């Protein structure tokens, strides 16, 4: 797994962006964390019980708020909303923290470039379409799909177009976590290629929804390309992150 760090603001533009806030990014992070803590996956809420009772509550919770491909295309109004609600549901602490760390790093810069309202609509819209794309490709799957990685992948795609020259320090496990610095146009396509390879090997059973990552990443890049054209600024900045965290389990996590 690839861990990344965007480092060393050095330009005037970079300092200008850093001086502003990113309320949508931070608000979405806070909302996802709150929803997780009060839900059954965190294990903090005693109303969901313990042991087998808790596991039953978790499955019911994911099925209610997550995307179930076999139900999505039946025409039920409630199911049509699940690609939006699933963006705010996570299956475990690792799933949540990995996604939110990645979003914290890349989301703030993208939000500053797009503007707060546009970024919020971009995040939800691309996340919805990423989940919808996965569900369409796995229409017979009865597994619940939850997680924000489709939307966060869209942020990565937009970041690649908006800030291709941002210097990214990458930590590669197979190189003993030796930090190596590359521009975003090297690191993010490499990440996308890994998702493509993983998607080709994945099955329809429980696990990581790599296809949702690819759909989201592509949508984000194309949106930024069409929306901003040749007006893109490419400052460097500093922050740390790890890739969207995914784990196999009894539901698909994207």
Q: Of the residues 144, 213, 218, 236, which is catalytic?
A: 213
Count CA atoms within 13 Å of residue 130 on its CB side.
37
Could you tell me if 8 and 238 are in contact, meaning their C-beta atoms sit under 8 angstroms apart?
A: yes
Instruction: Confirm whether 149 is a catalytic residue.
Output: yes
Compute, in degrees rounded to 10, the torsion defined by CA atoms 151, 156, 158, 159. Answer: 140
**Annotated catalytic residue, options 149, 153, 218, 236:** 149
CA distance linking residue 113 with residue 72, whole number of Å: 34
For the record, the structure tokens of 141 come out as 């799957």
116 is annotated as an active-site residue: no
183 phi, psi to nearest 5 deg: -70, 160
Alpha-helical (H) ranges within the chain are: 12-18, 23-38, 51-65, 69-72, 77-85, 93-114, 116-137, 149-162, 184-201, 210-228
Distances (CA, A) of 85 to 10, 21, 24, 64, 183: 39, 26, 17, 9, 34
Residue numbers annotated as active site: 149, 213
């Amino acid at each position: 797994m690839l861990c990344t760090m965007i480092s060393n603001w050095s330009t005037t533009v970079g300092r200008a962006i850093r001086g502003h806030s990113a309320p949508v990014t931070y608000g979405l992070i806070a909302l996802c964390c709150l929803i997780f803590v009060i839900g059954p996956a965190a294990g903090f809420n005693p109303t969901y019980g313990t042991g087998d009772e808790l596991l039953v509550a978790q499955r019911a919770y994911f099925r209610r708020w997550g995307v179930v491909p076999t139900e999505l295309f039946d025409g039920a109004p409630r199911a049509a909303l699940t690609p939006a609600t699933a963006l705010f549901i996570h299956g475990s602490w690792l799933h949540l923290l990995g996604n939110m760390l990645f979003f914290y790093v890349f989301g703030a810069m993208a939000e500053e470039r797009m503007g707060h309202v546009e970024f919020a609509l971009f995040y939800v819209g691309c996340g919805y379409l990423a989940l919808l794309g996965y569900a369409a490709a796995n229409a017979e799957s009865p597994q619940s799909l939850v997680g924000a990685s489709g939307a966060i992948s869209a942020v990565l795609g937009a970041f690649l177009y908006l800030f291709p020259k941002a210097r990214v320090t990458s930590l590669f496990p197979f190189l003993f976590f030796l930090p190596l610095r590359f521009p975003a146009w090297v690191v993010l396509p490499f990440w996308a290629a890994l998702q493509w390879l993983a998607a080709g090997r994945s099955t329809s059973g429980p696990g990581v929804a790599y296809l949702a990552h690819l759909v989201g990443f592509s949508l984000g890049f194309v949106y930024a390309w069409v929306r901003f054209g040749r007006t893109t600024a490419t400052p460097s900045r500093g922050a740390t992150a790890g890739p969207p965290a995914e784990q196999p389990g009894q539901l698909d996590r994207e």
